[in-house]
Structures are given as structure tokens and as C-alpha cells.
Structure 1
């Protein structure tokens, strides 16, 4: 019996992300919504309800720790994006199908908006806060007059693009199957987020997360909502930059190129009847997609062993769930 490995990643074929339980799309979207809810509640709630003089834990570090915890708790189901920029980077890098990426973004927005509503409702119960929108202004991303140090649009744009590109690059790099330190990916991503939030706090409360930016802008003053477009365009541009770089690296990597040459031979056993890749849980995919076939090895040759391309097609969080 020869059990083919999942199809390797290539520019035209997103990397399969098999899960031990073959989680369906609904389970993955639920994980993204819940994880984003936690990340946004921590990222906005800590600075909203904390007295700076008595808090030894900075808001940026709290947000980074929350991201690490969310990735550890829910990442095995969905990959632990919790950020439209990270999802866009995965799609552009070829690790996630565009349709699934769009669904992920929708789930992330739902989780972020629920977090915003929750924090807004809590603020309404505080008697010393007369204007809830003014309180949200202190944690909402902005530029120009809405920036603590009056950084103009161009400066905040560059910070957001750079920060999102670095965040997505760290995520893609640390979760790569061939990275020996991939088990520490949640900590690397969480610490990266903490550092970036600290960097962007004074220039404009830059979140490097369009979902979090939307949740805070909707409950802030109208000026913040008018500037929201920047905190979608800039992080998505940075994510696209990082995704394209990793896509190019995959093409130039000898192991990936060798694996790509074997993809066509494995298509008959790697694809489901509905055309989805093994382990991908698109609409209607709920049963395990791994298939086996009986093949007689050629005379004088041994069955093919694992290749480097097999590792590239495996996702970091799926290994955690084994």
C-alpha cells in the first residue's frame, strides 16, 4: 500500500492544511471569530480600563500575550490568523484559498465587532465616563489631529505598511513546516505584535489589524471613522508585500521546485471528488480527504519515501493537534 502525501504548495495550488479531525469550514470560522473577539477585547479593553500609573503591564504587551494565547487555544482549528492582514498574506502566499480567505475575514469582523459592542456596553455602565465615544477615541487609530504626536497621513501609512509586512512575514516564516522552531510560532507572533503596537502607539495607535481598527472606529468620534480606510489599505498592502515575497521564495527553493514537479503525478489521489485539496475544508467538505491506493512498485525500486515537499504541505497548527 502506498499512501501519497498531501500535494505540495505551489503558486497555483494552495498548500493543503489537513487537520487531524478534518475541521469543517464552520469550525474554522468559529475559531477565527472567537479568537478575534479575545484579541480585540484585550487590545482595546486593557488601555480603556487601566490606570497607567498603577499598571506594570503595558497595553501593547497585553495585546501580544492575548494573541499568543488565542493562537495556542484556537490555532489548531483555523491556523490562528485573527487578523484580515494575516489572512490576506496567507492567501497571496498560496497557503489559503481565496474563498476561504474571504470567509475568514468575515468571521474576524464579526468577532471584532462583538468585542467592540461588549466594551462599549461596559463603558456605558461606568458613571465617571460621560462620553463613551471620547473614551474610545483614546484607543482608536488615527493620523494628523487624531495622532498623539500629530503624525501626518504619510507617516502613519508607512508605519502600518511596514508593521503589517513584518507581522505577516514572521507569521509565514515561523509557521512554515520546514522551520525547526515552528512550535514557538505563537510566542514569536505575539511578541512581534507587542513590539509593533508599542512602536505605533504614539504615531497613531496603529493596530496592524483592520478588524481591530474597525471595531474601535465604529464606536469613536466621526473623524476616526473617516480615517478608517487607511487602516485597511495600509496593512493589506504590507500583507501583500510579505505574501508575494514568500511566494517568490517558494518558487526559488530547490525542494519546493522538486515537489512541484511531482504534483501532477499525485493529482489523481490528492484531489477530492469536488476538486478540493486534501484536508481543505471548503463548503461541503466534512469527511477525511486522505486517500490510499494500491500500487505495485517497479522492479528493482523501493517505494518512494518522504520528500521535503511533503513537509511544506503541512501546516504548523495541524502538527500541534496530533
Structure 2
């Protein structure tokens, strides 16, 4: 495995362990604000710690958005997506080992979802629109913050804060994915509704990322 792919495995592992861990372990004690910050700060940590190696995509929607933007080849994006998914599964696995040590653990892993019984009980349409639109916004910020003319050294902060802000808006809607890998890890180990609804968190984020990349390539969302 190349260093780039290993960095994507490790970075996505960190994202899932910190973000989903905050939801499962911190829960009501830290609230939605704390969970949002955990996801955002995990991205900041990975961006500055691993970004120089792989770009710290940590998300297939970002990698495929980069393809649509003309900044990455499709074979490289597929390799990144596989590495990211592996990292997410390992992160969810580590979370199982930690949380199962508590007598109060109910089996939750911070999986994404929608509909009756899930947080705000939002509809399928709401879930699809939220995930697609917010991934478009997220990937647009990433492309702009890492593109030519962007302020040097601030990309990690911009990306992490954007992810935190999106979580503040949308945790009640879907738990916030924007990231197929982040959804796959917890869903595979949780099963049930999380696995049955997983397709939403594969299709909508990738679609949003592709649209963001296409608009960036067309020059509609970049400065140069």
C-alpha cells in the first residue's frame, strides 16, 4: 500500500473514531454542538497531519468530486475510495471494542439514517436533498480552499469549520454523512436499518460531489 493510500486509511479511521465516537460515547453529555465540533476538529487534525501526503480527502465524494473537477484521475479516486472505506470500517471496529466495554452500551455506532425512529424522523426526500446539497457545499469549499489563489495554510480550518457547521444544521436530519465511507463503516457493523438505508448515503453525497466538481471545472465556483 502506498503512503498516500495509507494516509487515507488513517485519516478516515480518525474521522470515524472521533466523530462517531463523540456521538456514541459523548452523546447527551456534549450534545449536537460537541458532536459537530468533533467531526470538524477531526478533519482539521487529519488535514494538517496527513494533507501533505494524500490531500486528506477522507471521503469518496471528495475524491470523485476531484475527478469531475479535473484534479484527479478516476483510477486514483477509486483507490482512494477503497482506502477510505477500509479506514472507516477499522474506525467503526475500534469504536465497537471501546464502547462494548461499557455496561450501558446499546449497540449504536453513530450510523446515518432517516425516517421513523431516527432522530428528527425526516423523510427520505429530506434526507436525499440534505445530503446532496450539503455535500455539494462541502466539496465546493474544499475545491476552493485548496485551489489556486486560496489563502495558504488555511484550507484545513475552512474545511473543518464547514463540516462542523453542516453538522450543527443537519444532525437531526440524517446524522450527517456527506461521506459514503463514513456511512459504510458504522452501517456494516450495525446492520438493520442502517444497512438498509445505506444507499442514500452512497448516492446523494457522490452526486453532490460530482456536481461541485463539474461546476468548479466549468469555472463557475473558482477564482482563476
Q: Which TM-score applies when normalising by structure 1?
A: 0.66
CA RMSD between the two structures: 1.9
Which has the higher mean CA deviation after the structures are superposed, 25-34 or 105-114? 25-34
Deviations 1:249-283 (A, max 9, x none): 18x98x7xxxxxxxxxxxxxxxxxxxxxxxxxxxx
The 3 A distance-change label for structure 1 pair 51 and 176 is closer
Offset of 1:182 from its aligned partner? 3.7
Gaps of 5+ in 2: none
* Corresponding residue SS for 2:166: helix
1:50 aligns with 2:26: yes
* Corresponding residue SS for 1:218: helix
Hey, what's the Cα distance between the residues in 1 that align with 2:27 and 2:179?
25
Task: Select 2:213's aligned residue among 231, 243, 251.
Answer: 243
Residue correspondences, number: 223
Offset of 1:123 from its aligned partner? 1.9
Deviating 4+ runs (over 2 angstroms): 51-57
1:230-269 to structure 2, matched below 5 A, reads 230-249=200-219
Gaps of 5+ in 1: 1-24, 256-322
Hey, what's the Cα distance between the residues in 1 that align with 2:137 and 2:25?
29
Offset of 1:74 from its aligned partner? 0.3
Contact 1:146 1:204 (C-alpha < 8 Å) held by counterparts: no
Q: Which TM-score applies when normalising by structure 2?
A: 0.93
1:155-234 to structure 2, matched below 5 A, reads 155-179=126-150, 181-234=151-204
Hey, what's the Cα distance between the residues in 1 that align with 2:115 and 2:214?
31
The 3 A distance-change label for structure 1 pair 56 and 202 is closer
Whose helix proportion is higher, 1 or 2? 2
Deviations 1:99-134 (A, max 9, x none): 1110000100111000011111222221233x42xx
The 3 A distance-change label for structure 1 pair 148 and 128 is closer
